[in-house]
Amino acid sequence: MDFDYYSKKLHSNRLKECYDTAPLRIKKYLEEEIQFVLKHVKSSHVVLELGCGYGRVIRELAGKVKEIYGIDISKKNLDFARKYLEGFKNTKLMQMSAKSLKFNNQMFDVTIAIQNSISSFGIDPTRLIEESCRVTKKGGIVLLSSYSDKIWGKRLEWFYSQSERGLIGEIDKDKTADGTIVCKDGFKATTFSREEFRNLVEIMNLEAEIEEVDNSSVFCVIKVKN
């Protein structure tokens, strides 16, 4: 997926509409993702979210942590997020790419890139993980997630709904299958499987656990080595 699509076409109120109009099963998946993240954060933590969009996840976490930073490549997303997060004084939003984070080493207790960001960012997963681990404190964690293949049918239904609303292009039925959704306007959404997570962390010699949540998402929980 070329993340530029989100920056130019699917941002701010249009992106929010994708989530607001999601089917009930998808809303449950999104909520279970957040609940899984909440199990890994504390009130003393400083957290970083990569690809924060309009602030959907930050809004759920802000009241549970000391401070939370969000980055996104889309200025329009960030402008929308600042209004959406008005009143949450412990949030900081910045425009930057996840492949080159403008933060010092070991700044955060927890770094998250959920809701299939490892695929949708369109950057080298190894680079994403290296940067995420670099800015996370030793003994801290990095949380990455993608879709479980068990929710493929409902996920596809959700994307058809987005297409019908004109939020994304027409679904290319000939090219859409096996976890990959392709639209005729250039949009492409892939996934990262449990096996791909496992192979990647083994190659990178990282300490990690792979866990399926709610039969809908696959989480890779990386513990940054001391």
Q: What is the pLDDT of residues 85-103, one digit of tens each?
A: 999 999 999 999 999 999 9
Instruction: Kindly report, residue by residue over 110-135, the tens digit of the pLDDT.
Output: 999 999 999 989 899 999 999 999 99
**Confidence (pLDDT) at 13:** 80
Q: pLDDT by residue (tens digit) across 24-81?
A: 999 999 999 999 999 999 999 999 999 999 999 999 999 999 999 999 999 999 999 9
State the maximum Cα–Cα separation within the chain, in Å, rounded to a whole number. 49
Q: Is the pLDDT of residue 9 over 90?
A: no
Place of tokens 């959404």: 189
pLDDT mean over 207-220: 98
Euclidean distance between the first and the last CA atom of the chain, given in angstroms as a whole number: 34
User: What is the pTM assigned to this prediction?
Assistant: 0.94
Q: Break the chain into its structural domains and give their ranges.
A: 4-148+192-223
Give the CATH H-level superfamily of domain 4-148+192-223.
Vaccinia Virus protein VP39 (3.40.50.150)
- The confidence score (pLDDT) of residue 12 equals 73
Under the banding of pLDDT at 50, 70 and 90, the label for residue 2 is very low
Strand runs (DSSP E) across the chain, as ranges?
46-50, 67-72, 91-95, 108-113, 136-147, 181-182, 188-189, 207-213, 217-223
Q: Which two tokens stand for residue 177?
A: 């299958």
Identify which has the larger pLDDT, 127 or 12.
127
pLDDT (average), residues 180-191: 91
Q: Are 113 and 98 in contact (CB under 8 A)?
A: yes
